[in-house]
A = this chain, B = another copy of it.
Amino acid sequence: MYSFKNDYSEGAHPKILEALIQENLIQNDGYGLDPHSLHAAELIRQEIGRDDADIHFIVGGTQTNLIAIATALRPWQAVISTDKGHINVHETGAIEATGHKVLAMPVKDGKLTPADILKALDHHTDEHMVQPKMVYISNSTEIGTQYTKAELEALHHICRQKDLYLFLDGARMGSALTSPVNDLTLKDIAQLTDVFYIGGTKNGALYGEALIINHPDLKPDFRFMIKQRGAMLAKGWTLGIQFEELFQNNLYYDLAAHANEMSALLKKGIQSCGYSFFSDSSTNQLFPILPDAVIAKLKKDFLFSIQERFDDSHTVIRLVTSWATREDACKEFIKSLESCK
């Protein structure tokens, strides 16, 4: 059975694996203080156009989120997110476990707006309530949508005005940046956010997220926090090597572009069959609304997740493509879908 369950079903892209093999028996200093990690950080600084950025490599996304947020906030402060935000729903209360409230604003399309932020601020006015201090967004979002440059600029502006940190979770940023409707660059993102991360796990690395800190307030002593939360990998150079590969020869973008092409292929086929989508995605996550009977048939040959019930006879499913998704598998999926009609 072919799986469209997620973008971390396979290991590492062969070039990344090859680099790890090459280095395997060479001695390196531990905990990210090795030449590969330093070099990878330098490559990313060039790519984002910020010499002043602090860059840390961390194994996974939940870790990265909780460390970044808990470092930024004082004990009584809170982070504003959409109600669909990964930190609000799918991290088992990781942020609350660090002592902070997630202020979840209801949204339809997975994207936060300045109006949502102002609403959160309006409701939190004195010391009997938490103090909002950070804004968390994902790009691409949890439902596959993505921010335009104008939207991100607006968020940047309101955050500056209201003295809030803007944090962008880029677990799936490769897919956003290479989508046909994208008008953002890594350079833009590095100018418009205070801290963000570039996901490796969901874009061809065996593991690893590159956290980029732009705001000087968030930089001091950051490695203490990484260590305390158990996120300082002993063989940290394996993270460095993977990001060296991703940011040499355009690999980061190429892998994400492949995921998007596969997703576009699925999208076109689903549309041709007359089905619509729960969200307007041009990234590697699609949320088609399908009849329950069709889903039952597709399940025999493909793995995918159920997102939520749509109505009495329809359900939203989630299809995810990756750097490793095979074109023939996508075509098989569409063929199966067509045969269900």
What residues make up the interface of A, taking CB atoms closer than 8 Å to B?
Answer: 2-3, 5-6, 8-12, 14, 17, 20-21, 23-30, 59-67, 70-71, 74-76, 78, 89-94, 96-102, 127-131, 201-202, 206-207, 221, 223-235, 238, 324
Q: Supply 11 further A-B pairs (C-beta < 8 A) apart from A17-B24, A21-B21, A92-B130.
A: A3-B29, A5-B29, A10-B27, A11-B238, A60-B231, A62-B230, A62-B232, A63-B230, A76-B224, A92-B129, A93-B130
Nearest B-chain residue to A24, judged by Cβ: B11
Chain B CB within 10 Å, residue with most, of A93, A98, A131, A202: A93
- A228, B21: Cβ atoms under 8 Å? no
Question: Which 3 pairs of residues, A with B, have the shortest CB-CB distance?
Answer: A63-B230, A76-B224, A11-B24
Minimum CB–CB distance for A17 against chain B, Å: 6
Q: List 9 A-B contacts (CB under 8 A).
A: A5-B29, A6-B234, A62-B232, A76-B228, A92-B224, A99-B99, A201-B235, A202-B234, A207-B234
Enumerate chain B residues within 8 angstroms of A101, measured Cβ to Cβ: 93, 96, 102
- B10, A97: Cβ atoms under 8 Å? no
- A224, B20: Cβ atoms under 8 Å? no
Enumerate chain B residues within 8 angstroms of A61, measured Cβ to Cβ: 230, 234
Q: How many copies does the complex hold?
A: 4
Enumerate chain B residues within 8 angstroms of A67, measured Cβ to Cβ: 230
Assembled-state Cα–Cα distance A149/B2 (Å): 50
Enumerate chain B residues within 8 angstroms of A235, measured Cβ to Cβ: 8, 11, 201, 206-207
- A76, B11: Cβ atoms under 8 Å? no
From B27, B78, B233, contact of A207 by CB (8 A): B233
A interface secondary structure, majority: loop
- A228, B92: Cβ atoms under 8 Å? yes
Enumerate chain B residues within 8 angstroms of A97, measured Cβ to Cβ: 75-76, 99, 228-229
- B28, A92: Cβ atoms under 8 Å? no
Given contacts A92-B228, A97-B229, contact A234 B201 (CB under 8 A): yes
- B221, A76: Cβ atoms under 8 Å? yes
Assembled-state Cα–Cα distance A94/B20 (Å): 30
Given contacts A10-B24, A76-B228, A228-B75, contact A92 B127 (CB under 8 A): yes
- B17, A224: Cβ atoms under 8 Å? no
Enumerate chain B residues within 8 angstroms of A75, measured Cβ to Cβ: 70-71, 97-98, 225, 228
Enumerate chain B residues within 8 angstroms of A24, measured Cβ to Cβ: 10-12, 14, 17
Assembled-state Cα–Cα distance A32/B312 (Å): 34
Minimum CB–CB distance for A304 against chain B, Å: 12
Assembled-state Cα–Cα distance A6/B31 (Å): 11
Given contacts A94-B230, A97-B228, A229-B229, contact A9 B27 (CB under 8 A): yes
